[in-house]
Amino acid sequence: MTIARPSLFQFTGGLDVKEARISANREETTVELTTSLQKPGGTYKLIVFGLLPVKGDLSFTTPPMTDTPTNPGNPGIPGNPGNPGGERPGGSYTGNDFSGTAGSPKIYNGDVTVNLANIASLSHSVVKGNLTLSGTAAPNLALTNITVEGDLDLSKLSTKVNFELTNVTVAGETIF
């Protein structure tokens, strides 16, 4: 296996390659890429390899976050009826989109930033990374049934907030 410079690979759509590994034998060549988070339903096309433009079409499209016939009500995870809230990539979300329900908690794979815009409560979510709350929250903000497997960063809020925390677990640090 050979480790290649990530900068050798350039994709459309803002996809950044973080790590690249190439292995080959007499029958095939395998390229493994670790990339930045991909947007659901996004299409990414390899346009440059090394210094050479890529001819032809070498692209992929990530699945959209929609219900699937094998798993109605479960965005993004076909065939996994045990998680109707669905798993989502890390990224930026609005306060209205962040929360799940008691029966269908939302699970985020990666760091998440939530812009609150006068939201008064967030609930029923698991963040497998850091959770940053930003923007202008309501004067009283309730966080209920939230697990953060990284840090909880509250320092990006633009107004003073009174917090009510119920069943909130933070594996890392809470930053005020």
The 10s digit of each residue's pLDDT in 53-104 is 777 776 666 655 544 343 344 444 433 444 445 688 888 999 988 998 888 8
Residue 105 CB neighbours (<10 A): 19
Q: How are beta strands 121-128 and 140-148 bridged, if at all?
A: parallel
Helix boundaries (H) for the chain: 95-98
Spatial neighbors of 26 by CB under 8 A, at least 6 apart, are none
Average pLDDT over residues 13-22: 80
pLDDT tens digits, one per residue of 111-131 = 999 999 889 999 999 999 999
Give dist(CA 132, CA 172) in Å, integer. 12
pTM: 0.54
DSSP annotation of 71 reads B
Is residue 174 over pLDDT 50? yes
Spatial neighbors of 72 by CB under 8 A, at least 6 apart, are none
**Helix, strand, coil distribution of the chain in percent, nearest 5:** 5, 50, 45
pLDDT for the residue 86? 65
Q: Are 99 and 125 in contact (CB under 8 A)?
A: yes
Q: Which residue has the higher pLDDT, 94 or 27?
A: 94
